[in-house]
Each structure stands twice: as C-alpha cells, then as structure tokens.
Amino acid sequence: PGTSASPIFLHFGAGGTDGVRSDRFFEEMCAAVRELVRSTNGTSWRLWPEDFGSVVLLPRSVGELLPGSCPTLVCLRWSESPPECPAAPSAQALLAAHAGGPSPSHTASKAYQQLWRGLVAADGSSSVAVVTPSVDLRGEEQQMVMQALWQVLPRRSVYSHDAIEMDMLKADYSRFPAIMALTLLSMFGLIGWTFKAALVPLKLFLTVVAPLFFVFGLILEAYELGTFDGFGIPHVNSDYGLHWTIPILAAPILTGLAVDYDVFLFARVYEFRQKGYDDRAAIVAGLAATGPIISGAGLVMALAFGSMLFSETRVTYEVGFALCAGVLVDTFIVRPLLVPSILMLGGGLNYWPQKMPEATISIAELEEHAEDVRLGMPIAAERTTHLSPGALPSSSAAAATVAGGPAVMLLGP
C-alpha cells in the first residue's frame, strides 16, 4: 500500500540445529507478530495482519487459492497444518512441493517458495519479517509504531529508515542544548573581550533569544498548526508537518546572522560614545549610520533564503522559510526597535568596566547635524572634543585630524 512510512524489517534469529525449519521457531515468530497486532489494536497507527510479510504467516495471495475460508491472521507450522486453517499445508509441505502444473496447490507452493528465498537466510539461521503499515503514518505516529515494535522485540532486531531517523533525532537533540550553549558562550565571550565590556553581551543575548523564539513559534504555526493553510501559499502548509532537523539547522544560522547585525550596530554605537556622544545620542547615531546597510544586507539575505521555498524537497523549503522569516524579523524589528531599547536600559553600563569619555554631544545637537552623521562626517562638537586645550593655533586657519574621521579644516576667528 502507498503510505508515507518506509518498510520496517524485523530480524528473528533461530537457535538449535534445525534453525528456521522447526515448529519452535514458527511459534515464537508468530507469537511476536500476534502481540504486535494486539498491542496496536484501537490506535491510529494500528498494524494489521496483512501489513506483515513473513514465512510464518500464510500469505493472503496463497490463502485465496485454498479451498474454504481462513482467518485473516493464519500462522503456519513447520511440520503440520495450522489448526485455524486446516486447508493450509505445512511450511515444509509448501517448500517440498514442485510446480508441476497450474493447480492452486502448485501456484501456492511457488509463491511461498519465492517468499522463503527472499526472507530466510541461506544457511537457515534466521528470517526477516517485513512490515509495511497500511495507514498513513507521519510525525508522532511513526514514533509510536517504532516504540510498539521495540517493546516486543530487541532494538537491534528492528531496522528501518524511520528507526534510523529516530536514533539520529535522539542523539542530535541530546547534544543540541550543550552545542548551542557552548556556541553562545564563545560568541558573546568574544564580543565582551573585543569591546572590553562585561554587560553588553548579556544585553545582546536577549536580542538574539527573543527573535529565535518568535521565528520558531512562526514555523510551528505554519507547519504544525496549519495557520497559513487557508492562504494557499505553496510549501507553507501543515501537510507534512515540521521536519525534526529544522530547529537544529536553523538555530545556529539565525543566531550567527542576528549577532552579526547586532555587533555591526553596537560597534558604531561604541565608536560614537568614544567620540563624546551621550548614551542616547550614540545609540541614535549608530542606528542612523548602519540602518541602510543592514536593511539592504537583510533584504539580500531574505531573497536568497526565500528562493529555497521553490524547492520540492521538504527540508529545503522548511529551513528556507525559517531563515527568511528570521532575517526579516531581525532586520526590520529586532535591529531598529529591540536592540536600541535594550541598549538604552542602563545605557552607562553598556561599556562597564571600561570608562568612556565625558559626554559632550547631546541628542539635540545630534538632530541638528543628522545629515552629517548619516554620511559619516564628524559634527562640530565632535571635532573639538578630540582636541586638547591649547591645541588650536591662533592663526586664522589650521588643520586637524579627527580620530576615526577625515582631516577637516578648522577656521578660527
């Protein structure tokens, strides 16, 4: 049947000298299949008898060729007919028969012998049962099926693509918190060391965590809760759910982009504060100076990540949506609104324990020279701030070089 779940292979080892060719092995394997059918009964991920392919079960195609009626689940026996379906021969008889004509018994024997060659080891030491769920399993239901199988059989005896993914999921998410913590600690430790400031990394940390929570809430709304299903946007719907790799793939990239823009902005704020701007003026000037560049860079990144939405691969378009949304939120909400607001809280502590120059430029003076700041030109108060007393000559003109800016001509009276 066509389902989203991959086939599941169950391995059964046989002990004793007879191996698979014994009534004991058939009984043990059949008991496991019956338990799986019973334990999943009444659930949305129920395993039906016809979902199993095994040499210990009477294949449906074979049962249809036999006279009389048999139950849906018939367990064969090696040396005798099963009591629930007396018309069915033993497994030994099916293997020993030769296709001598078009009779139902010969056709059934041929089908069973082909099944035996595909599912039993050449030395007869083990056999495999194939489970193909007939219901459409997605997300949590796939995990529940695997849990049901692991409760009946040893974990090493169950193999499927879903089982591998579950093991990867468990391993990756068990390490993910430590990896993110180490990454954030390294990044913000480097920021504190670069600016010689102890508290600004904590403030910038808040500007990274907040958009991450927002973006992950948004992708859950899109791919799990179906909030945007009604808009008919291709690849932005809850048809397949959110792939488990998306948070692991998107979180480090979004963190790096957010920190990159924040550091770019704070570097200019730090520069203006060193030039004598007060805390508020430095933040406003830094925002004005970096705004066009960061906005342009954010749009370019959003367009680049947005192109991933045109992919037909589920992981690709879901991670593209997460990255595109994250960049837009960071560029047009976090950077112009949240970052300045957080930096304004206890603005003098942004640079602690470093001692900054005395503030000589206020927000009012900054507003008078907004165009100069936008173009990166120093304003009059900034030029005089960096000249020591007596540095200006008494002549009518003198050249002075402004720290961090171009050489400007200061005209005397």
User: Tens digits of per-residue pLDDT, 278-296?
Assistant: 999 999 999 988 999 999 9
SS3 readout for 134-148: CCCCCCHHHHHHHHH
d(CA 102, CA 120): 26
Q: What are the strands, taking DSSP E only, across 48-104?
A: 52-53
The alpha carbons of the chain give a radius of gyration, in whole angstroms, of 36
pLDDT score of 167 more than 70: yes
Mean pLDDT, range 322-335, rounded to an integer: 94
Least confident of 34-43, 81-90, 359-368: 359-368
Listed residue (148, 131, 143, 151) closest to 168, CA to CA = 143
User: Tens digits of per-residue pLDDT, 193-247?
Assistant: 999 999 989 998 988 888 899 999 999 999 999 999 999 899 999 988 899 999 9
How much is the pLDDT for 46? 87
Non-local CB neighbours of 99 within 8 Å, separated by 6+ positions:
106, 107, 109, 110
Q: How distant, in Å, are the alpha carbons of 7, 169, 314 from that of 162?
A: 9, 10, 16
How much is the pLDDT for 371? 66
How much is the pLDDT for 396? 34
User: Concatenated DSSP letters for 111-175?
Assistant: HHHHHHHHHB-TTSSEEEEEE--SS---THHHHHHHHHHHHHS-GGGEE-HHHHHHHHHHHHHHH
